């Protein structure tokens, strides 16, 4: 029994990586029948409802006293952690594979290392960390260059750049959370920004709702994005963080691209090319270097998935 309990956090970590890796596949399926804006609405609404139900079942309050004073922060975090990145990733996955999107999404850590130089001077990375940043962005070039050289600024290149923009937005959100919301309950932060996302998503999605095609596969995918990849995944992450520590829990960001590529190849028959493998290896190496001796940011900022 003790061995089983000691292994449980590691199984949870693997499950979390599979869930967040699968989110890129779910986006790929969903955008075949709905616009990125509608996907934003359905995903945020199902995520909010799932997380609220889970908190009620386990007996935790949805919001603490004084939550109204944090409405502005919830709104900012909704824009930077959902509205911009979820639309950008969905738009990008209309043009690139889910595996490539997951690899590019992993550059969030690299963007954080760049921005933290000005935002949190006390936690500036070392020279070795910035070598990792340079190496990571070199990996992005490795991934994008084949399409750029063959077709110029094509849809594939723009799709890749959209995912990179999403990663930058996630980094901004992580640093904002670090500076302004670090003392607020993580469940309240998650629920508050999801609620704000729903409010923003309604007018954004309204113009494209008439073009919605309702298929079982796409609806299962988008509900899974909200219910599983948001509600359930948050609880798994916090369980891993409380049992294995924040540093090991943050390591899931290194596993997500691997699991996403796995799901894409196995379930969507996406092609695994040599540039994709090379780019993933370079980016992940850069992320490892950029995180050496930098643990404080990772202890407070959640890993960012699609």
Please determine, for residue 5, whether its predicted confidence score (pLDDT) is greater than 70: no
At 190, the pLDDT band (50, 70, 90 cuts) reads confident
Segment among 131-140, 144-153, 219-228 with least mean pLDDT: 144-153
The sign one gets for the Cα dihedral 22, 52, 214, 305 is negative
Please determine, for residue 208, whether its predicted confidence score (pLDDT) is greater than 80: yes
Alpha-carbon distance of 225 to 44, in angstroms, equals: 9
* Residues sharing a CB contact under 8 Å with residue 32, sequence separation 6 or more, in sequence order: 218
Alpha-carbon distance of 54 to 60, in angstroms, equals: 9
pLDDT value at position 151? Answer: 67
Segment among 72-76, 93-97, 132-136 with least mean pLDDT: 132-136
pLDDT value at position 245? Answer: 63
Q: Hey, how many other C-beta atoms are within 10 angstroms of the C-beta on 266? A: 10
The most confident of 31-40, 184-193, 287-296, by mean pLDDT: 31-40
The better pLDDT of the pair 278, 299 is held by 278
Which pTM value belongs to this model?
0.83
pLDDT value at position 249? Answer: 61
* Residues sharing a CB contact under 8 Å with residue 78, sequence separation 6 or more, in sequence order: 193, 194, 196, 197, 199, 200
Segment among 37-41, 107-111, 147-151, 218-222 with least mean pLDDT: 147-151
Please determine, for residue 45, whether its predicted confidence score (pLDDT) is greater than 80: yes
Q: How far is CA 103 from CA 12, 164, 199, 243, in A?
A: 22, 10, 30, 27
Please determine, for residue 130, whether its predicted confidence score (pLDDT) is greater than 50: yes
pLDDT value at position 87? Answer: 97
Distant-in-sequence contacts of 1-9, Cβ < 8 A, 24+ apart: 8/243, 9/239, 9/240, 9/243, 9/244
Q: Express each pLDDT in 9-19 by its tens digit.
A: 888 888 888 89
The better pLDDT of the pair 150, 193 is held by 193
Q: Express each pLDDT in 244-277 by its tens digit.
A: 765 466 567 667 888 888 888 888 788 888 888 8
């Amino acid at each position: 029994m003790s061995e089983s309990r000691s292994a449980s956090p590691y199984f949870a970590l693997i499950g979390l990586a599979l869930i967040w890796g699968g989110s890129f596949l779910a986006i790929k399926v969903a955008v075949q029948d709905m616009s990125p804006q509608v996907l934003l609405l359905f995903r945020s609404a199902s995520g909010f409802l799932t997380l609220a139900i889970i908190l009620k079942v386990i007996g935790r309050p949805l919001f603490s006293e004084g939550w109204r004073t944090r409405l502005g922060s919830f709104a900012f975090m909704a824009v930077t952690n959902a509205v911009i990145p979820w639309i950008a990733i969905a738009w990008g996955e209309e043009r690139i594979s889910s595996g490539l999107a997951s690899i590019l999404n992993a550059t969030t850590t690299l963007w954080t290392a760049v921005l933290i130089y000005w935002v949190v001077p006390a936690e500036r990375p070392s020279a070795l960390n910035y070598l990792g940043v340079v190496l990571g962005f070199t990996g992005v070039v490795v991934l994008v260059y084949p399409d750029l050289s063959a077709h110029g600024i094509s849809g594939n290149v723009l799709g890749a750049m959209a995912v990179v923009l999403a990663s930058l937005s996630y980094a901004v959100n992580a640093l904002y959370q670090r500076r302004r919301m670090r003392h607020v309950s993580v469940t309240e932060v998650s629920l508050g920004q999801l609620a704000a996302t729903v409010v923003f998503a309604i007018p954004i999605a309204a113009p494209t709702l008439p073009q919605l095609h309702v298929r079982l596969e796409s609806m299962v995918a988008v509900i899974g994005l909200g219910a599983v990849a948001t509600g359930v995944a948050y609880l798994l992450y916090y369980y891993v963080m409380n049992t294995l520590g924040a540093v090991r829990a943050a390591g899931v960001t290194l596993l997500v691209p691997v699991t996403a590529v796995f799901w894409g190849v196995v379930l969507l028959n996406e092609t695994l090319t040599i540039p994709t493998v090379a780019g993933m290896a370079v980016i992940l190496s850069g992320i490892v270097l950029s995180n050496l001796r930098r643990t404080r940011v990772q202890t407070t900022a959640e890993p960012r998935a699609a």
